[in-house]
């Protein structure tokens, strides 16, 4: 089992990554391209689990090289759990990507990162309602200060694949 | 009044009316879809990208994309 960190560019994936791994990281090149990705290990339930910081992508229909790499990595790692990092102040676009990943059958945990920014911008996010609709673990985080990271790590093992039809039902079509 | 997104003026606001079919999925990941409210923030010179606000968040689009999005201007 591996953990993939996915999300849009500039939502703080790498900061979350560094928090989860304690920054014992190896930089590497994805074969055939110059797109960098980072992998490391984190301790989960006494085991050491590989975690990959996937290049940022807006959707699963790749528009450039970095997005191609992201989509390919997702497809190659069928046995992975995906932590989808979303900029909580730009939640709709993030959820679009999260739903695409859920639709492909991956267990997903959502990190609503930059939670402090939503407060600054007076954006209210009903996390409880979102949990009800999606049926997956959702954790507000502020990666740069480390808030929510421990909770995020503790929820990883609770993730399980959800049928997209079920979500549509609960969201009311 | 309808106008292409690429032809909106600064500070102008409007609601997305239609998007060329083959682009719909491509830009949904950027938070732009039919019914969304947009505000034009900036157009970069020399056929550069346009910057709009959607849901209090900025996003930039290539001029080619912006040409294929029709917006109903509100103010």
Integer Cα distance of A105 and A118 in angstroms: 29
Cα distance between residue B40 and residue B52, in whole Å: 5
Q: What is the pLDDT of residue A25?
A: 58
Q: How far off is chain B from A143, nearest CA to CA, in Å?
A: 20
**Residues of B with CB below 8 A from A99's CB?**
none
Identify the segments of chain A with pLDDT beneath 50.
none
* pLDDT score recorded for residue A33: 56
Strands A138-140, A108-113: pairing kind: parallel
Q: Which DSSP string do the residues of B4-23 spell out, in sequence order?
A: EGGGPPTT-EEEEEEE-GGG
Q: In angstroms, rounded to a whole number, what is the distance separating the alpha carbons of residues A125 and A147? A: 17
pTM of the full predicted structure? 0.85
Cα radius of gyration (chain A)? 15
Q: Cα separation of A146 and A75, whole Å? A: 30
Of A61, A90, A123, the CB nearest to B31: A90
Encode pLDDT of A29-79 as tens digits: 565 556 778 888 998 888 999 999 999 888 898 878 888 999 999 999 999
Phi first, then psi, for residue A84 (nearest 5°) are -95, 115
Give the gap in angstroms from C-alpha A56 to the nearest C-alpha of chain B.
Answer: 12
At residue A34, the pLDDT reads 60
> Which residue in B31, B34, B58 has the most chain A C-beta atoms within 10 A of its own C-beta, making it the best mutation to test that interface?
B31
In this structure, what is the dihedral angle of CA atoms A95, A99, A100, A103, given to the nearest 10 degrees?
180
Rounded CA separation A98/A109 (Å): 9
B:18-57 residues touching chain A, CB 8 A cutoff: 25-26, 28-31, 55-57
Q: Do B29 and A90 touch (CB under 8 A)?
A: no
Q: What is the pLDDT, as a whole number, of residue A172?
A: 78
Q: What is the mean pLDDT of chain B?
A: 88
Dist CA A159 CA B41 (whole Å)? 40
Chain-chain contact of B31 with A93 (C-beta, under 8 angstroms): yes
pLDDT of residue A140: 97
Q: pLDDT-derived band of residue B52, with 50, 70 and 90 as boundaries?
A: very high
What was the ipTM of the complex prediction? 0.73
What pLDDT was estimated at residue A127?
A: 96
Mean pLDDT for the stretch of residues B14-40: 88
How much is the pLDDT for B30?
Answer: 81
Mean pLDDT of B6-32: 87
The beta-carbon neighbor of A58 closest among B29, B56, B57 is: B29
User: What per-residue confidence (pLDDT) applies to B24?
Assistant: 83
A113 token code pair: 């990162």
- Predicted confidence at residue A173, as pLDDT, reads 55
DSSP annotation of A54: P
Beta bridge partners of B53: B39, B58
Residue in the block written with tokens 């979102």:
A130
- Shortest CA distance to A44 belongs to which of A22, A76, A26? A22
Cα dihedral across residues A48, A49, A50, A53: positive or negative: negative
B44 pLDDT tier (thresholds 50, 70, 90): confident
């Amino acid at each position: 089992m591996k953990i993939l960190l996915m999300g849009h560019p500039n939502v703080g994936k790498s900061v979350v990554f560094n928090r989860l791994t304690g920054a014992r990281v190896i930089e590497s090149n994805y074969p055939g391209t110059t797109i960098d990705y980072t992998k490391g290990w984190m301790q989960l339930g006494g085991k050491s689990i590989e975690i990959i910081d996937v290049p940022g992508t807006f959707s699963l229909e790749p528009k450039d090289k970095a997005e191609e790499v992201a989509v390919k990595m997702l497809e190659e790692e069928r046995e992975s759990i995906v932590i989808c990092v979303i900029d909580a102040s730009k939640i709709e676009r993030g959820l679009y990507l999260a739903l695409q990943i859920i639709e492909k059958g991956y267990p997903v945990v959502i990190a609503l990162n930059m939670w402090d920014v939503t407060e600054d911008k007076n954006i209210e996010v009903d996390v409880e309602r979102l949990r009800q609709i999606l049926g997956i673990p959702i954790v507000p985080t502020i990666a740069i200060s480390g808030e929510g990271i421990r909770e995020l790590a503790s929820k990883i093992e609770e993730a399980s694949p959800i049928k997209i039809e079920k979500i549509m039902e609960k969201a009311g079509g | 009044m309808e106008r292409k997104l690429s032809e909106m003026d600064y500070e102008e606001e409007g609601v997305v009316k239609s998007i060329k079919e083959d682009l719909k999925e491509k830009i949904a990941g950027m938070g732009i879809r039919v019914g969304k409210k947009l505000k034009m923030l900036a157009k970069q010179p020399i056929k550069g990208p346009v910057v709009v606000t959607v849901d209090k968040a900025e996003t930039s689009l290539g001029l080619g994309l912006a040409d294929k999005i029709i917006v109903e201007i509100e103010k």
